[in-house]
Structure 1
Amino acid sequence: MSPAHRFDRGHTDDLISFIAASPSPYHAVANTAARLEKAGFRQIAETDAWDASAGGKFVLRGGAIIAWYVPEGATAATPFRIVGAHTDSPNLRVKPLPDTGAHGWRQVAVELYGGTLLNTWLDRDLGLSGRVTLRDGSNHLVNVDRPLLRVPQLAIHLDRGVNEGLKLDKQRHMTPIWGLGEPREGDLIRFVAQEADLVAEDIAGWDLMVHSVEPPAYLGRDRELLAAPRLDNLLSVHAGTAALAAAAGDHLPCIPVLAAFDHEENGSQSDTGADGPLLGTVLERSVFARGGTYEDKARAFAGTVCLSSDTGHAVHPNYAEHHDPGHHPMPNGGPILKINVNQRYATDGSGRAVFAAACERAGVPWQHFVSNNSMPCGTTIGPITAARHGIATVDIGVACLSMHSARELCGSDDPHLLAAALTAFLEG
């Protein structure tokens, strides 16, 4: 029997729906919050006083969400079990003065966000999503989920050497078109206002980005693969949300937490990024709301463990020489444990034991990932979380191809396997 048929596809079907409904970090956070509310969690405001009540709670800020469940009987020194992830993905983001164009074409000025794999955005039907902020300070989600923009590639007849090496100028060649005619100031925002049923003059700011409108889909003879945008890292956000909802209960030895940050793809240095104070502040306030002291916080943090869950690299059949010869993670082989002795990943031997125990309890297979020594290693929120909060952290993920592409690829069973392992971990 093919590995693709070992498990119920319900989880991956739900992931497909989640990704399709979450073209921007702001949508991902809103959809995560809706799922948690359905599971009995409630939103609390950072500006309110927090109480010691048990149950599920969450805080929203921009493109980030921190959610946790306080079981009955939890003390101020009860440790946390954290699943860390991020909501953002590399893409093209709209500039402050977006209306541009040349030679009879109307275009949208964009800035490159994160480590974008540029060629994957060429000749692709693109929508527009994100949020706009009104003069009264309120934020409104925007999702134009239809073919609206396109970054056209130069025809091979005008670039005969393109197949020997495509060179893209980030400023000149990545500007999408969206119509014909002369650009007019305010056109894009007027269009966005109309699509969102808002008044253009009320819009004071925006955080808008493009997204591929091609929906996620199963791929392959046996549908054993999943092709989708934003697997990095909505796959982990979705799995962490499902795990937190499943683990929430009143007989836990720890407090399970989901921390889904924004801005991981450009360094995490923001008020909603992992290198900001948001997670630490939420955990501290949770301790203090239960009558804790600094001593209690120190004890709780000392017993806390975080699984930093992000996508990793499956061995590429056409470029196997780029991988470590002894470590070839495969799709549908279960989640991967990421290791780098130079602390680009935060995993150590103790963390390996925690992860292995969770996978064993869940009945989930797992794999190792190590980078090829001759290539630089990527990184995650893991080392940031460990260093900033003094929390034991383990880097894990799911093996993918085409990372940072506009459309990525993973095994269709791995999302379910990851969620099962995360659930076992959060249950302590």
Structure 2
Amino acid sequence: MSEPPRFDRGHTDDLMSFLAASPTPYHAVANTAERLEKAGFRQVSETDAWDGTSGGKYVLRGGAIVAWYVPEGAAPHTPYRIVGAHTDSPNLRVKPLPDTGAHGWRQVAVEIYGGPLLNSWLDRDLGIAGRLTLRDGTTRLVNVDRPLLRVPQLAIHLDRSVSAEGLKLDKQRHLQPIWGLGGDVRDGDLIAFLEETAGLAAGEVAGWDLMVHSVEPPAYLGRDKELVAGPRMDNLLSVHAGVAALAAVAGSGAGLPYIPVLAAFDHEENGSQSDTGADGPLLGGVLERSVFARGGSYEDRARAFAGTVCLSSDTGHAVHPNYAERHDPTHHPRVNGGPILKVNVNNRYATDGSGRAVWAAACERADVPFQSFVSNNSMPCGTTIGPITAARHGIKTVDIGVAILSMHSARELCGAEDPWLLANSLVAFLEG
């Protein structure tokens, strides 16, 4: 097997393009699929019979994608090496009856998705994007990537206490964006506008999954441009690194001891319980069908799963210079210090000692430093798809990721080196 490509600063440049082109999970998986196609992968339909041929394949389902590469001569019981991630980010999503307004302002009715930092969506130029479902059952992606909406904050003159007591937002009353003027708010205005934007006939759209996004592009930040500011790093940063690593491993030649997999799920930010979430049957079904397509039995499936390892790659918290007391006093992950290993003894993360050894070995092979993260004992710990994947499929899972600031903001911050360090470690992991 030849040496895999080693990623560098160009990977971070490409990440910024990927973030800008992926305002929704549906766009993210479409862009991921396009990259896989260029790497020689082909899409397989869940409604078709699968064959056991070698090569790269992928399944699309809504805002989720599972891709895998079967090496030449792989046995039915060959274990998998999985990079798991998620495509969704906290944001504001359009309600079923989107047209609203008051006092001469035309507004869009939105619902809160996940746990966003609500104040980060105020006074920001917003576009709208998502998936339109047509009357014939087909879907069309739409992306209005220009200043279209805005959630205006109340002027300080009308809320003198805001600086001393903090901003208090009512999720129902204070977060409905404006997008124009007019006293006559007509039902269907927003969808009619999007039909026209997408080049569709009036009345062609029967359903929609729409969300707003900041139109400010990702950018390098800092004196030496050692930082990156941009949207949806949680968790498209991991999706991007995962597809880059999978394509690199697939193109590196035969002789892989494992079947490398990328599983990018939707709905992590609200619990993963959907047909496209990590708590659904998507991953298990794909892995099992791959075993059976290669002539395997249930025994082969059990053997393959028993030898499988999954890296749940998601962003984590870098130490915040203004709030260092919120972090564990002896664990202070820093940006550009390499990816982090996430540990929680109450199983909010799936990492254990044997999983740490797998991760450490991959980082050593890739010559990538890594850091450890645990939460302050007095602070509740977040969670990931890691424990879900481990419990649902009986697969050894390790939680890792990249340390960032401003997690769940409309615009997050990471180190410029960490994305490519993560990608290099993922290559080493997938190669085994």
TM more than 0.5: yes
Return the letter of the residue paired with 2:336: N
3-state DSSP of counterpart to 2:31: helix
- 1:153 matched to which residue of 2? 153
- 1:384 matched to which residue of 2? 388
Shift of 1:305: 0.1
With the length of structure 1 as denominator, give the TM-score of the two structures.
0.98
Shift of 1:359: 0.3
1:163-200 CA distances to partner (integer Å, 9 max, x unpaired)?
Answer: 12110000000000000012111000000001111123
1:190 to 2:192 alignment: yes
1:241 to 2:272 alignment: no
1:415 to 2:419 alignment: yes
3-state DSSP of counterpart to 1:272: coil
- 1:69 matched to which residue of 2? 69
2:288 to 279, 284, 296: 284
- 1:126 matched to which residue of 2? 126
In 2: Cα distance, 1:222 partner to 1:350 partner: 38
In 2: Cα distance, 1:355 partner to 1:311 partner: 16
In 2: Cα distance, 1:70 partner to 1:114 partner: 35
- 1:209 matched to which residue of 2? 211
1:406 to 2:410 alignment: yes
Return the letter of the residue paired with 1:260: A
In 1: Cα distance, 2:69 partner to 2:317 partner: 32
3-state DSSP of counterpart to 1:10: helix
- 1:362 matched to which residue of 2? 366
1:343-391 CA distances to partner (integer Å, 9 max, x unpaired)?
Answer: 0000000000000000000000000000000010000000000000000
Shift of 1:250: 2.0
1:370-415 CA distances to partner (integer Å, 9 max, x unpaired)?
Answer: 0000010000000000000000000000000000000000000000
Greater displacement, 247-256 / 386-395: 247-256
In 2: Cα distance, 1:171 partner to 1:56 partner: 46
Give percent identity, aligned residues only: 83
- 2:201 matched to which residue of 1? 199
In 1: Cα distance, 2:160 partner to 2:394 partner: 55
- 1:166 matched to which residue of 2? 167
1:97 to 2:101 alignment: no
1:342 to 2:343 alignment: no
In 2: Cα distance, 1:116 partner to 1:100 partner: 22
Greater displacement, 307-316 / 246-255: 246-255
1:317 to 299, 316, 321: 321
1:426 to 2:430 alignment: yes
In 1: Cα distance, 2:149 partner to 2:254 partner: 49
In 1: Cα distance, 2:119 partner to 2:174 partner: 10
With the length of structure 2 as denominator, give the TM-score of the two structures.
0.97
1:24-60 CA distances to partner (integer Å, 9 max, x unpaired)?
Answer: 0000000000000000000000000000100000000
In 1: Cα distance, 2:199 partner to 2:215 partner: 21
Return the letter of the residue paired with 1:167: K
- 1:180 matched to which residue of 2? 181
3-state DSSP of counterpart to 1:99: strand
3-state DSSP of counterpart to 2:257: coil
In 1: Cα distance, 2:346 partner to 2:187 partner: 49
In 2: Cα distance, 1:341 partner to 1:312 partner: 16
- 2:276 matched to which residue of 1? 272
Contact 1:79 1:254 in 2 (8 A): yes
Return the letter of the residue paired with 1:264: E
In 2: Cα distance, 1:91 partner to 1:221 partner: 30
Contact 1:309 1:395 in 2 (8 A): yes
Return the letter of the residue paired with 1:370: V
- 2:4 matched to which residue of 1? none
In 1: Cα distance, 2:22 partner to 2:8 partner: 23
Contact 1:189 1:200 in 2 (8 A): no
In 2: Cα distance, 1:363 partner to 1:409 partner: 24
- 2:312 matched to which residue of 1? 308
**Ranges in structure 1 where 5+ consecutive residues have no aligned partner:** 1-6
Return the letter of the residue paired with 1:359: C
1:203-234 CA distances to partner (integer Å, 9 max, x unpaired)?
Answer: 00000000000000000000000000000000
- 1:40 matched to which residue of 2? 40
**Ranges in structure 2 where 5+ consecutive residues have no aligned partner:** 1-6
Q: CA RMSD in A?
A: 0.9
In 2: Cα distance, 1:147 partner to 1:129 partner: 12
In 2: Cα distance, 1:185 partner to 1:343 partner: 47
- 1:219 matched to which residue of 2? 221
Shift of 1:8: 3.5
- 1:4 matched to which residue of 2? none
